[in-house]
Amino acid sequence: MAKTVLKTEGLTKHYGGIHALVDADFEVREGEHVAIVGDNGAGKSTFVRQITGVEQRTGGRIFFDGREVAFKGPLDAREAGMECVFQNLALADDLDVPANLFLGREKTLVNLGPFSILDKRAMRKATEEGLKRTGVRIPRLDFPIRRMSGGQRQGVAIARSATFASKLIIMDEPTAALGVQETAQVENIIRTLKAQGISLILISHNLRQVFDLADRIVVFRRGHIVANLRKEETDGSDIVAYITGVKTQNTAAAMM
């Protein structure tokens, strides 16, 4: 059986009196693509914010790459090999593709502190390789991101994650703001990642997409994980039943 990349035990987050996430036990194995689904406010994004260190959890344990971790911020998570594609893209619109890909971890020729000289050629080359590896096609790398379509921008954001993520990529609604064609483009990129054996957590509202791309589907409802199903053991209406609370695998959640 493949190695476990990420595992949470009893992960809990309270915002004041609101229990946004309760006792979440979750696992991703090497090369596995896991989808997280659930209604708005079910705790999906809260869950991601806890594991990436964007927020500090109220309780529970997180294991990443075989050891227990306590990320103080998203940078720690990134350093450990976990990359997140944020819902709001997090790209600098006026910078070109290589500049965005390497933002915050630029390659330099000469180290002069803040005035270190950039190694633009190396970054460009690495960008070309990164885009090729993820199957992202951008006609002109030297154009500012602003000039690109939503799909291309998302492609850049994903390529950035894929270039640096050694172990796990998390995508929070990567196609929420995209058109049909652009969504297809991003889905192809995700398939490419699968073919390369990169583990992925995909948060999505789109069940068609989830069934297309994921190996396993985890359903959140009101802060609880109510189902953890292999794709083959379930179908769309079954998932909807879990999302809406008609069915549950979680007895603790059912008693609420």
By the criterion CB under 8 A, which residues form the site for other proteins?
74-75, 78, 86, 88-95, 99, 103-106, 108, 112, 114-118, 120, 132-140, 142-144, 146-149, 151-152, 181-182, 184-185, 188-189, 191-192, 195-196
CB of 94: closest distance to other proteins in angstroms?
4
* Residue with smaller CB distance to other proteins, 186 or 227: 186
Q: Smallest gap, in angstroms, from Cβ of residue 17 to other proteins?
A: 28
| Contact present, 38 and 44 (Cβ < 8 Å) | yes
Tell the residue number behind the tokens 């896991």, with chain if given: 34
Shortest Å, Cβ 92 to other proteins: 4
Nearer to other proteins, 86 or 242 (CB): 86
CB of 15 to other proteins, least distance (A): 21
DSSP letter (8 states) at residue 232:
G
What is the nearest approach in angstroms of other proteins to the Cβ of residue 104?
Answer: 3
Q: Closer to other proteins at the Cβ: 29 or 133? A: 133
Which residue type is seen at 76?
A: D
Strands, sheet with 199-203, edge to edge from the N-terminal-most edge strand: 82-85, 168-172, 199-203, 33-38, 216-221, 224-230
Count of CA atoms in the C-beta half-sphere (13 A) of 161: 29
Compute how many other C-beta atoms are within 10 angstroms of the C-beta atom of residue 81: 16
CA distance 104 to 160: 11
Handedness of CA 180, 89, 149, 135 (dihedral sign): negative
Shortest gap between Cβ of 191 and other proteins (angstroms)? 6
Q: Is-contact 30 36, C-beta < 8 A? A: no
Which CB, 156 or 243, lies closer to other proteins? 156
CB-wise, 81 or 144, nearer to other proteins?
Answer: 144
Q: How far apart are CA 97 and CA 190, in angstroms?
A: 19
